[in-house]
Amino acid sequence: METDSTDHAILSLLQAESRADFTHDEIAERIDVSSSTVNNRIQRLEAEGVLKKFDPVIDYETAGAPHHILFVCTAPIVERKALCKDAIEVPNVVNTRELLTGSQNLHVEAVGMTAEDIEAVTEDLDALGLEINGSESLRTEYSRPFDHFGSEVVDESASE
Amino acid sequence: METDSTDHAILSLLQAESRADFTHDEIAERIDVSSSTVNNRIQRLEAEGVLKKFDPVIDYETAGAPHHILFVCTAPIVERKALCKDAIEVPNVVNTRELLTGSQNLHVEAVGMTAEDIEAVTEDLDALGLEINGSESLRTEYSRPFDHFGSEVVDESASE
DNA sequence: GTTGAAAGCATATTCGG
DNA sequence: CCGAATATGCTTTCAAC
């Protein structure tokens, strides 16, 4: 899909201000177009599959689930893609990522209320045929907009 | 914070249906409470910091940025937290995660239009004092709700 | 493809149980 | 604390450019 600087500015702002109450009007003011143009562009980006969804970011610890673990696993190359999809079905698993490498090619993120929840995840992953190379406690995580878009933003608001 | 099964059901549905057009009314119907209760709960979850934000999920490849890489790095233990924050400031870096382990304790996710963009990231990370243990192409990624909440959902809709 | 205004609709508030 | 109705204001639409 062809995306121009207006699209990039919108995507960047959406990532920078990922609030539920971030309105089209506010985007429109910051990039100096009308709010109907913002609406047009967002709808097109969604239709074309660039803007896929809006994921709620949950602080599991505050919500009462203190265990947050990353498993680094190895899946046989040919089964890797299938196992990535299978692993997301394991209870307490919240994210899986497929890498390109030969070993340690699957990352599985899990959340649990208790240590037993996490222990059960290791058993389930093992039962799927995944070799678990390591498990790490996740501490902090930061996200931010894709810069290539951000650098093109014409932000008219001086007070930032 | 104290979260009950209504909160959990709402969080689970928000994650399962992370659409912009997923309304409070729809949540209300599915878990059999009024939409004002849904609104009350969501506002409280946001105020208490459980529901932090709504991150737009962008398909970078479709948007015209084909390079999507995960760097596995090692930061000196004492500087780890600071470097996690520094790394997110590097151009084209979109996500950083701090792990607990002694080595390979920092994951840095980067996106770029060209191979040069990615090469520049390695140089910037190196300049920060990070040892880069490996870089992997990211292929596929799946996410899904935290099950402990999901299992408590009283979903009244039979047609699913 | 963009705009402004007006209609349509989701969300926030208010109040009564 | 929950739920129904009201008020607010955001999103969408549409005629015109």
* 3-class DSSP assignment, residue A71: strand
Q: Which residues touch strand C (CB under 7 A)?
A: A 6, 20-21, 33-37, 40-41; B 23-25, 35-36, 39-40, 42-43
Q: Do the domains at A5-55 and A67-137 have one common CATH topology? A: no
The total number of residues shown for chain A amounts to 160
Q: Is B14 exposed, middle or buried (0-12, 13-18, 19+ CB in 10 A)?
A: buried
Residue from the list B46, B54, B147 with its beta carbon closest to the beta carbon of A54: B54
Domain definitions of chain B by residue range: 5-55, 67-137
Work out the percent of chain B whose per-residue pLDDT is above 90.
Answer: 52
**Confidence (pLDDT) at B43:** 95
Q: Using the CB atom, is residue B23 less than 7 Å from strand D?
A: no
The per-residue pLDDT for A66 is 79
> What is the share, in percent, of chain B residues with pLDDT greater than 70?
90
What is the rounded average pLDDT of the residues A30-58? 95
- What mean pLDDT is predicted for residues B86-110? 89
pLDDT of A158? 30
Q: In which band, very low, low, confident or very high, does the pLDDT at B51 lie, cut at 50, 70 and 90?
A: very high
What pLDDT, on the 0 to 100 scale, is given for residue B157? 34
More confident residue, B24 or B104: B24
A–B: how many Cβ contacts below 8 A? 200
In this prediction, residue B147 carries a pLDDT of: 55
Residue A62: which of B48, B65, B145 has the nearest Cβ?
Answer: B48
Report the pLDDT value the prediction gives residue B58, as an integer from 0 to 100.
Answer: 87
Give the right CATH number for B67-137 from 3.60.15.10, 3.30.1330.90, 3.30.70.920, 3.40.640.10: 3.30.70.920
Average pLDDT, chain B: 86
Closest to A19 in 3D by CA, of B52, B72, B62: B52
Q: What is the mean pLDDT of residues B41-62?
A: 91
Assess contact for B63 and A50: CB atoms under 8 A. yes
Smallest CA–C1' distance to D9, residue: A23
Q: Does the domain spanning A5-55 belong to CATH 3.90.550.10?
A: no
Nearest to B104 by CA among B71, B82, B137, B136: B71
- With H, G, I as helix, E, B as strand and everything else as coil, classify residue A136: strand
Could you give the CA distance from residue B160 to residue B150 in angstroms, rounded to a whole number?
14
pLDDT value for B149? 53
Q: Strand D: which positions are within 7 A of a protein CB?
A: 2-5, 9-14
Contact B38, A36 (CB under 8 A): no
